[in-house]
Structure 1
């Protein structure tokens, strides 16, 4: 099998990338999805709030996915469901398997990696205590309740204030469960401010920051969870223990980009994002292999995933057509307060009007300025009254500024607003 473009993953990133590549003149496209339907995680996200940026209206997850699936079908873009990609070689040969076609070798001129992300589990965070039934990741509970029709429990505690956990606090309440509390290890929430307001405050669900679980009890089914406040070193403080009698514990303790295939291919991974290192065209260190969406870095909104995926679709189209300009790379370094930036490097001659740089900050900061520096020279400065790790930031650096850079790198950092 030979295709111009193969997209690995049929979630929001893969769908948007394939549609955009088709719009840019690439005819022979294949989307490979391991699930039984397109749409990825959106199919179990039945709450609204999707599409405000992309479609200028509020949609549920399935509605949002449906818009892109419809475009895919109208454009006659080929896709394979229930198909597992086993390997992608640096030469852009895809090894895949399903029950209909058997083992397949697929050659592509370009590959877009759009595998999304997975949840961090109990084993990854080493919670002490017994191991009874009734402990789920928030996403698993979401699938059980929204798609399978199973109620996972009646008295619930949630560890971690990621967006899925916050949304499930509301969902469980609406289904008749009692959510005792949301417990967060960090001194700040990992979720969007609007989700804290709409999912916790509106339902009088308490959020305990700087707290963690120190014990779990239960023989067959979960019976109780004990939490405690933690100090600045995240160690439990004696005397602050509190025990909740619950039958269910949901874990919302972070998402990890699904990069097992990327690593085996030889894609360079950024240890801060757990996603690929990419350039201004969303291309990895391997020629003709691109990455976008949550497999690259975890996004807040699916609208941003779609926008980023479109960039990858356009870039892959240019690569297939042979219209990419070569040039010397400039690195994007992170200064004070910046956790990571994507992309990590760029060539100014491949940028049309401006370079979009996504980032997350390390802590909650007030009255700051976001500065971009060429050495000691400030080439761009933006006021930031409030920034937090739970909300992704982005800046647009005009091409005319990037073309004037003297050094081999630029630095993005936060500085006090009064400086």
Structure 2
């Protein structure tokens, strides 16, 4: 039997919860959340550290506390959800097929679908580190689950590869539990995590952070006995003679997150080669009519507050789609010099909205510049930008009025000395609150 719903939300984590609430707030009553785990809240349930909610609630919350705020709202609004429900396939015409022990096979015909499946960690198999396969190699997220939810210690003498935020947070967490975190090795010349986590999780506990270093060998048969690390050159190749053996019983990997987009691809959604997430417009609408995406399935976020805000945009977009209030056409947004990617990649409306982006290196004292039709239509000064921090840029409606239909807009980094004097009129500094 096929069940009709207005909006099917795939995922009951912070993105899915916020998207479902936004649908209800924008006049869509028939909303259903599908969650594969046996509880709502997603990954936040194992993030027991504080620091969540500063942007959205103006106070510091733990991950479970942050999730509970949204779960309570979902319960209050009586938005239905199915737990232990694994979505198997989504089609272009928005048929959703799922399975669960309680419901059996679930078939939904949705007017709109919101993708909020989150992301997964890159594993040791993706890194192809030489050596055997002993016990003691974990992703940082798995170690976090073991310690915070299951009550197990992954090890006592620990090396962490990668300076992603989960790895940094787990370095501190493991020290609190009595482990000796010997070092964090980072392949790049900069951290991929937030600076505040480096200060609070490494510097405060005197844990060394070795840039331009990686693990080139794992030692041990039944259990990790040690790793060999080495310095890398500018091409990220190990430098002969720089090898160093480090005795340890555990290797934690914090080497990147991958958006979970197998379902998106089955529906024909086009993916961005850099983000690994769908290509969307400012309402997070994909190339498949009626399918939207938000949260870490779209782009990997640093701050969960931004996940919730983005999900609200997708929820509003789904409501507008159902009400037939969508516009066609649009302008493509392209990443230029110094910028790795932008979200959204398409602009359709003339309403004020935010562009999220990441740069490809550390840049100091310059501007993010938007070019359209051979002209600078907007620019904002930055003291510093880093790859580890996702930036967002709000475009006011008077800037969007300057854009012509079709073509493309480029967003790029320009050093201070390169900014032409005749562009100063359109400069908007951070101090102006733009």
Report the TM-score, using the length of structure 1 for normalisation: 0.98
Which runs of 4 or more aligned residues in structure 1 lie more than 3 Å from their structure 2 counterparts after TM superposition?
Answer: none
Q: Give the Cα–Cα distance (whole angstroms) in 2 for the partners of residues 219 and 128 of structure 1.
A: 13
**Partner of 2:359 in structure 1?**
361
Q: Give the Cα–Cα distance (whole angstroms) in 2 for the partners of residues 232 and 146 of structure 1.
A: 38
**Total equivalences in the alignment:** 415
Cα RMSD after superposing both structures = 0.9
Contact 2:377/2:402 (<8 A) preserved:
no
Corresponding residue to 1:228 among 227, 230, 242: 230
Contact 1:293/1:299 (<8 A) preserved:
yes
Q: Give the Cα–Cα distance (whole angstroms) in 2 for the partners of residues 164 and 71 of structure 1.
A: 27
1:325-376 Cα deviation digits (max 9, x unpaired)? x23211101110000000001112xx43x12100000011111111011133
Contact 1:6/1:31 (<8 A) preserved:
yes
Compute the displacement of 1:20 (Å).
Answer: 1.0
Corresponding residue to 2:24 among 22, 25, 28: 22
SS at match of 2:141: helix
**Partner of 1:336 in structure 2?**
337
1:146-192 Cα deviation digits (max 9, x unpaired)? 00001110000000000000000000000000000000000100000
**Partner of 2:321 in structure 1?**
319
**Which stretch shows the higher mean deviation, 18-27 or 287-296?**
18-27
Q: Give the Cα–Cα distance (whole angstroms) in 1 for the partners of residues 366 and 374 of structure 2.
A: 18
User: Following superposition of structure 1 onto structure 2, how do residues 289-308 of structure 1 map, counting pairs within 5 Å?
Assistant: 289-308=291-310
Stretches of structure 2 lacking an aligned partner (at least 5 in a row):
419-434
Compute the displacement of 1:241 (Å).
Answer: 1.5
**Which stretch shows the higher mean deviation, 276-285 or 394-403?**
394-403
Q: Give the Cα–Cα distance (whole angstroms) in 1 for the partners of residues 398 and 363 of structure 2.
A: 30
SS at match of 2:93: coil
Q: Give the Cα–Cα distance (whole angstroms) in 1 for the partners of residues 317 and 403 of structure 2.
A: 24
Compute the displacement of 1:24 (Å).
Answer: 1.1
**Partner of 2:402 in structure 1?**
404
Contact 1:95/1:106 (<8 A) preserved:
yes
Corresponding residue to 1:373 among 368, 371, 374: 371
SS at match of 1:270: coil
**Partner of 1:97 in structure 2?**
99
SS at match of 1:332: strand
Contact 1:375/1:411 (<8 A) preserved:
no
Q: Give the Cα–Cα distance (whole angstroms) in 2 for the partners of residues 194 and 15 of structure 1.
A: 27
User: Following superposition of structure 1 onto structure 2, how do residues 7-406 of structure 1 map, counting pairs within 5 Å?
Assistant: 7-324=9-326, 326-348=327-349, 351-352=350-351, 354-406=352-404
Contact 1:217/1:225 (<8 A) preserved:
yes
Stretches of structure 1 lacking an aligned partner (at least 5 in a row):
none
Q: Give the Cα–Cα distance (whole angstroms) in 2 for the partners of residues 92 and 376 of structure 1.
A: 40
Q: Give the Cα–Cα distance (whole angstroms) in 1 for the partners of residues 218 and 108 of structure 2.
A: 48
Q: Give the Cα–Cα distance (whole angstroms) in 2 for the partners of residues 199 and 250 of structure 1.
A: 15
Contact 2:169/2:197 (<8 A) preserved:
yes
Contact 2:277/2:297 (<8 A) preserved:
yes
Report the TM-score, using the length of structure 2 for normalisation: 0.94
Contact 2:219/2:226 (<8 A) preserved:
yes
Compute the displacement of 1:129 (Å).
Answer: 1.5
